[in-house]
Amino acid sequence: MKKVVKFGGSSLASAEQFKKVGEIIRADKERRFVVPSAPGKRDPDDTKVTDMLYACYALAEEGKDFKAQLQAIQQRYQEIIDGLGLTLSLEEEFKTIEKNFKAKAGSNYAASRGEYLNGRIMADYLGFTFVDAAEAVLFDADGEFDAETTNRRLRERLENVDAAVIPGFYGAYEDGTVKTFSRGGSDITGSIVARAVKANVYENWTDVSGFLIADPRIIYKPEGIDTITYKELRELSYMGATVLHEDAIFPVRREGIPINIRNTNAPEDNGTWIVESTCQKPKYVITGIAGKKGFCSVNIDKDMMNSEIGFGRKVLQAFEENGISFEHVPSGIDTMTVFVHQDEFMPKEQQVVSAIHRLAEPDHIEIEGDLALIAVVGRGMKSTRGTAGRIFSALAHANVNVKMIDQGSSELNIIIGVANSDFESAIKAIYDIFVRIQI
């Protein structure tokens, strides 16, 4: 068997954390491919190395002296090296970084050095082969990740390697210029490596024991999720669940490779399994609840709208013309509502309204802001009667007014719109009716 293991920044923030990671890897000989993040915060008041690199490079870009900031970053790594008792020297690496900063190599290059240097330390500590992600993780000329070329190159590079460390978060253009993924992109790298080596499992190690049914900042000690499908995870991630980068599932889903979210500080916990499909019945009717604030609704009324061919296209064209994407579009016989991000919409609201009148000739348009969307997700909802009824009953009991409901044909999720001020109360009410009452 082959396992790819990715470790987040909090798992690699210090020599002490590195030692925990080393014990985890050495405890299972199948953990042969390691994807490290840059060192994270050692305590709440600390600064992530990636943020230190961004700040340091900003000074270099402005032509200011950045040596003190670069030395502080070098000291962070030296503390890890000394704490692990290694003889590794990063002196030449930092000379190269200083030279490239002066040459204005770009913020992508600057940010990527956090993972690169941590990868160097990790490879030396474990005795594994170091493989620079810039050699094999490829982006095309438009900055889009080239999945197929990357998979081929990485597979060839790792084919005869027994154990390797591949830094997360970055790759390169064809000419070698470094390009990073979005924040949290080390999750994606781990998935890419898992696909390339045809791993049996992709273990993603972080500082929590998997996914929780609801946000612990809203629900006190929410229950954990044992198993979740790719589709369920996509729905929850899109609506704010942030344990795993939402794009990390695509490479492994193509190969049917399960992801196991684990806790570096509690390695005995089973964590959460993310799978393509499962016959395991969920513990509760719902798998999870997630949501976001900051939406507004544009309500369009027109008599006999349902009989007018192309009406919906004309309305959405008004948003497209102004560069605004929509979230949900529930509709009735004579009404259509478009939900959009309020911060995107507000600067262009009157242009959009004018465009809707010009293109669709509605009878009336009404805009309502300060709304939140909540996703109730669960594969168990399909086979359980009365789920929507229980949700609305719980919300009514909590004096929460429902502004919108949208249920997909897959019956995997129900989207509910409420006022921003009712967001927390709504999540608590839904959690209580499906989870607390069942415990």
Evaluate if residue 237 carries a pLDDT over 90: no
For tokens 């967001």, the residue is 423
Residue 57 falls inside a structural domain: yes
> Do residues 293 and 264 both lie within one domain?
no
Please tell me the predicted confidence (pLDDT) of residue 410.
Answer: 64
> Do residues 187 and 144 both lie within one domain?
yes
> Do residues 41 and 179 both lie within one domain?
yes
CATH number at residue 50: 3.40.1160.10
Separation between Cα atoms, residue 214 and residue 204, nearest integer Å: 20
Q: What is the pLDDT of residues 315-335, one digit of tens each?
A: 999 999 999 999 889 888 899
> Do residues 131 and 186 both lie within one domain?
yes
The set of residues, in sequence order, having a beta carbon less than 8 Å from that of 133 and lying 6+ positions away, is: 115, 116, 119, 166, 167, 168, 169, 170, 171, 172, 189
Please tell me the predicted confidence (pLDDT) of residue 137.
Answer: 96
Q: Which of 190-194, 197-201, 374-378 has the lowest mean pLDDT?
A: 374-378
> Do residues 269 and 316 both lie within one domain?
no
Residue 280 falls inside a structural domain: no
> Do residues 262 and 340 both lie within one domain?
no
Last residue of a domain, one of 275, 302, 324: 275
Separation between Cα atoms, residue 321 and residue 108, nearest integer Å: 31
Residue 137 falls inside a structural domain: yes
- Banded pLDDT at 387 (limits 50, 70, 90): confident
Higher pLDDT, 407 or 122: 122
Please tell me the predicted confidence (pLDDT) of residue 261.
Answer: 94
> Do residues 293 and 214 both lie within one domain?
no
> Do residues 99 and 157 both lie within one domain?
yes
The set of residues, in sequence order, having a beta carbon less than 8 Å from that of 278 and lying 6+ positions away, is: 227, 229
Residue 309 falls inside a structural domain: yes
Separation between Cα atoms, residue 359 and residue 439, nearest integer Å: 53
Residue 363 falls inside a structural domain: yes
> Do residues 182 and 223 both lie within one domain?
yes
Q: What is the pLDDT of residues 110-166, one digit of tens each?
A: 999 999 999 999 999 999 999 999 999 999 999 999 999 999 999 999 999 999 999
> Do residues 329 and 264 both lie within one domain?
no
Lay out the sheet containing 413-419: strands in order across. 335-341, 288-301, 364-377, 413-419, 404-407
Residue 281 falls inside a structural domain: no
Last residue of a domain, one of 252, 275, 298: 275
Total number of domains constituting the chain: 2
Q: Look up the domain containing 417 and give its range.
A: 288-436
Q: For residues 113 and 97, is the Cβ–Cβ distance under 8 A?
A: yes
- One-letter amino acid at 433 equals I
**Average pLDDT score over the chain:** 92
> Do residues 167 and 306 both lie within one domain?
no
Last residue of a domain, one of 275, 306, 332: 275
The set of residues, in sequence order, having a beta carbon less than 8 Å from that of 374 and lying 6+ positions away, is: 239, 289, 290, 291, 415, 416, 417, 418, 423, 426, 427, 430
> Do residues 258 and 376 both lie within one domain?
no
Residue 167 falls inside a structural domain: yes
